Amino acid sequence: MSRVRTTCPYCGVGCGLVAEHLPEGGVRVSADADHPANLGRICVKGAALGDTLGLAGRQLYPEVDGGRVPWDAALETAARKLQETVREHGPQAVAFYASGQLLTEDYYVANKLMKGFIGAGNIDTNSRLCMASAVVGYKRAFGADVVPCSYRDLEQTDLIVLVGSNAAWTHPVLYQRIAQAKQDNPALQVVVVDPRRTATCDIADLHLRLAPGSDAGLYAGLLRAVCEQRPLAAAQFAGQEAALASAQGWSVDNVAHYCDLDRDVVTDFYRRFVTAPRAMTLYTMGINQSSTGSDKCNAIINAHLASGQIGRVGCGPFSLTGQPNAMGGREVGGLANQLACHMQFVPQDIARLGRFWGSERIAATPGLMAVELFDAIERGEVKAVWIMGTNPAVSLPDSDKVNRALAACPLVIVSEVSAGTDTGRHAHICFPALAWGEKNGTVTNSERRISRQRPFMPPPGEARADWWILAQVARGMGYGAAFGWQHPHEIFCEHAALSGFENAGRRAFDISGLADLTREQYDQLSPVQWPVNAAHPQGSERMLNEGRGWGVETRLTMVPVTPQRYREANAPGLVLNTGRYRDQWHTMTRTGTVPRLMQHSPLPRVAIHPEDARRCRVTDGQPVKLTSPCGTMTGFAQLTDDQAPGTLFAPMHWNRQFASESGVNSLVAGHCDPHSGQPESKQTAVTLSGW
Ligand code: SF4
């Protein structure tokens, strides 16, 4: 019975797993006791991975215009049509839309082809929907996309504040670690800040059920409370005076009014934070998915900087990523507004990248971010899009508009594991991609830990690795010399070498210590946290040590914040919050095929407070229809006082493939944060009616 150590393909916890082929057939997936992310823990989704490995519903052969074709023909058609688009309309008419499901090696090749050789910045990713605001928050505060914390801090802290995070369902193994830490150390306090009462509240000492979108006001008040207890020395941080001035108006009374909280609850929270020797704030979609998400992130970071709760064991503002390789995408430049290895669109970095890649066509300006990319397709400005490992026809805001845009786009290429997805229905060229268990490469989790995904299944049908498909198309476009890899190990080493190229402390992301791995060392690579370089050959558990910057050129910065709740705060109706169920992943193309995962919640339920249900004349279990200016969604009412009056919650998972008329993203408008481009998926004004 062979055992292969690998990494989970679902959430950003990045658990280490062991896959074993059973003598009677099938694969058992269990937790890897030695992986530092999970230390032998696993959640229900991870444990059911063995049930998702069947070939039913797989895209197994290349297709052009709906018909099966040989690989050569599909690759030649894609390369020729992309070249024709560039020739006739320029490089800006081409775009890639990638995914936090891609491995780092796949992502690296996609970014190199688009930004290095096609010559446009137009590669963005579904990670834009997930943590782009957190990236902006870190970059504004630290000068780089640096996550200061580690999971091990969870067991070495005195206070954990979870803001906008239902970790019990969305990062289950981290929740298990926190629950265990609390059991081992009853003095550990847990505070949950969330408009809903969620499963995460089961271990909370205090739940702040604040008004939707009011988090920045709460943290502005915390900054003021911290500085009243321990005034900052002058000019300790860049931007300090302006940030403190912006917090001045946030007295406890004003915070209580703004957040719709009891003032004693606010005071209690501030007292716990100010007196905790070590405190962490864990935040995720409830903060990031906002039209002011970047400011919300900086409001959190400001409080940590002012209180000294950063750069020490058990301290820090900790953004949890949603996907298995959201962080890897950030590292390779998978976001349209950055270049590879944390380089920026500045002349020095553009020239540096040109020297390394041997290209004179490096993109000179940032590309289109997710929502604006599909808007540009709808306007006819982008005429060719290659979508990899994601289902934007369901998962992007205003998804009806996305479907219209794709239907009218002259060239849609889709690289997919699943056949017949909502996005795949628009494809002119469809490439069959390898799935988890077949792929070979690396991912990076929320704590900067690079970890191997290893194959333990043979490639089915004619499916191939995403990096291979991209490299073949690049060669067909005439860029062969730069895309000649034979194995993902070679791509990883090139990526690692680039991270150290002319770096000398300029960029935080540096894994040059891994650039010379042999193939065997790559295969055996143990999970390691970046940076990994000459100064940190074993990796780095914590960054911003003792509150200092990460490099010679860094100065920590406080950002002034003007709290705003959400764009449609004054619109009539109920406010809809969207999110995940415990046992489902994204648009259910994988988890939706597993009966035991479907049992947890077999239908899309719309959680509603009983008072609102009475007012809307809706009973428990009744079919309901939600309507916004963008579209409609149907579901089934679930009456619960876990939901605050005036608010609703609906899952993001259901789509046409699973017999829903349309998904929740039909309702969500594409209001985006002006700094991060992240859409406001967490607050949408809707009306509800029974039917
Ligand atoms: Fe996978 Fe996340 Fe569950 Fe870990 S917690 S097993 S990474 S889904």
How many CB atoms are located within 10 Å of the residue 265 CB?
A: 17
CATH number, domain of 628, equals 2.40.40.20
The owner of tokens 């996309």 is 145
Cα of 288 vs centre of ligand 1, distance in Å, is 20
Cα of 447 vs centre of ligand 1, distance in Å, is 14
Whether 565 is in a domain gets the answer no
pLDDT bracket for residue 590 (50, 70, 90): confident
pLDDT over 70, % of the chain: 98
Are residue 374 and residue 247 in the same domain, yes or no? Answer: no
pLDDT in tens, 233-273: 999 999 999 999 999 999 999 999 999 999 999 999 999 99
pLDDT in tens, 278-290: 999 999 999 999 9
Cα of 690 vs centre of ligand 1, distance in Å, is 36
Q: Is 8 in the pocket of ligand 1 (CB under 6 A)?
A: yes
**pLDDT on residue 394:** 87
**pLDDT on residue 585:** 87
Are residue 176 and residue 236 in the same domain, yes or no? Answer: yes
Are residue 375 and residue 517 in the same domain, yes or no? Answer: yes
How far, in Å, CA of 207 to CA of 196, rounded?
Answer: 9
Domain termination residue (choose one: 517, 538, 559): 538
Q: Which atom of ligand 1 is nearest to the CA of 38?
A: 4
Q: Is 15 in the pocket of ligand 1 (CB under 6 A)?
A: yes
Cα of 509 vs centre of ligand 1, distance in Å, is 25
Whether 548 is in a domain gets the answer no
pLDDT in tens, 596-615: 999 898 889 999 999 999 99
Phi–psi pair at 60, nearest 5 degrees? -110, -10
pTM assigned to the model: 0.96
Whether 561 is in a domain gets the answer no
Helix, strand, coil % over all residues of the chain, rounded to 5: 35, 15, 45
CATH number, domain of 142, equals 3.40.228.10
CB proximity list for 588: less than 8 A, separation 6 or greater: 653, 654, 655, 657, 658
CATH number, domain of 359, equals 3.40.50.740
Q: Is 16 in the pocket of ligand 1 (CB under 6 A)?
A: no
> Which structural domain, as residue segments, surrounds residue 645?
574-690
Q: Which of 171, 200, 581 to mutate to test the pocket of ligand 1 (most atoms within 8 A of CB)?
A: 171
Q: Which of 8, 32, 44, 165 to mutate to test the pocket of ligand 1 (most atoms within 8 A of CB)?
A: 8
CATH number, domain of 22, equals 2.20.25.90
Whether 562 is in a domain gets the answer no
**pLDDT on residue 586:** 85
For residue 515, give both structure tokens: 């650039």
pLDDT in tens, 538-587: 999 999 887 677 765 678 999 999 999 989 988 889 999 999 999 998 88
Q: Is the dihedral of CA 324, 327, 333, 338 positive or negative?
A: positive
pLDDT in tens, 610-662: 999 999 999 999 999 999 999 999 999 999 999 999 999 999 888 765 555 67
Cα of 123 vs centre of ligand 1, distance in Å, is 27
Q: Is the dihedral of CA 485, 490, 491, 493 positive or negative?
A: negative
Are residue 511 and residue 642 in the same domain, yes or no? Answer: no
Taking residues 137-148, report their average pLDDT. 95
Are residue 196 and residue 260 in the same domain, yes or no? Answer: yes
Q: Is the pLDDT of residue 398 over 80?
A: yes
Count of structural domains within the chain: 4
Cα of 43 vs centre of ligand 1, distance in Å, is 6
| Mean of the per-residue pLDDT values of the chain | 95
Are residue 653 and residue 581 in the same domain, yes or no? Answer: yes
Cα of 36 vs centre of ligand 1, distance in Å, is 13
Lowest mean pLDDT among 315-319, 368-372, 408-412, 667-671: 667-671
- CB distance 426 to 403 below 8 Å: yes
Whether 25 is in a domain gets the answer yes
Are residue 77 and residue 145 in the same domain, yes or no? Answer: no
SS3 582: coil
SS3 19: strand
Whether 439 is in a domain gets the answer yes
Q: Is the pLDDT of residue 670 over 70?
A: yes
* H/E stretch holding 509: none
Are residue 38 and residue 69 in the same domain, yes or no? Answer: no
Whether 526 is in a domain gets the answer yes
Are residue 381 and residue 467 in the same domain, yes or no? Answer: yes
Are residue 301 and residue 439 in the same domain, yes or no? Answer: no
Lowest mean pLDDT among 164-168, 325-329, 414-418: 325-329
**pLDDT on residue 660:** 57
Q: Is 43 in the pocket of ligand 1 (CB under 6 A)?
A: yes
Residue with the nearest Cα to atom 4 of ligand 1?
15
Q: Which atom of ligand 1 is nearest to the CA of 172?
A: 5
| Terminal Cα-to-Cα distance of the chain (whole angstroms) | 54
pLDDT bracket for residue 378 (50, 70, 90): very high
- 10 Å CB burial of residue 599 (0-12, 13-18, 19+) is exposed
Are residue 499 and residue 616 in the same domain, yes or no? Answer: no
Domain termination residue (choose one: 538, 556, 585): 538
Taking residues 371-398, report their average pLDDT. 95
Q: Is 443 in the pocket of ligand 1 (CB under 6 A)?
A: no
Report the relative pairing of strands 449-453 and 441-444 from DSSP bridges. Answer: antiparallel
Q: Is the dihedral of CA 561, 567, 570, 576 positive or negative?
A: negative
Are residue 211 and residue 296 in the same domain, yes or no? Answer: yes
Strands of the 384-388 sheet, one edge to the other: 67-68, 63-64, 429-432, 411-416, 384-388, 94-98, 123-125
Cα of 217 vs centre of ligand 1, distance in Å, is 32
**pLDDT on residue 593:** 87
The owner of tokens 């070939």 is 55
Domain termination residue (choose one: 514, 538, 562): 538
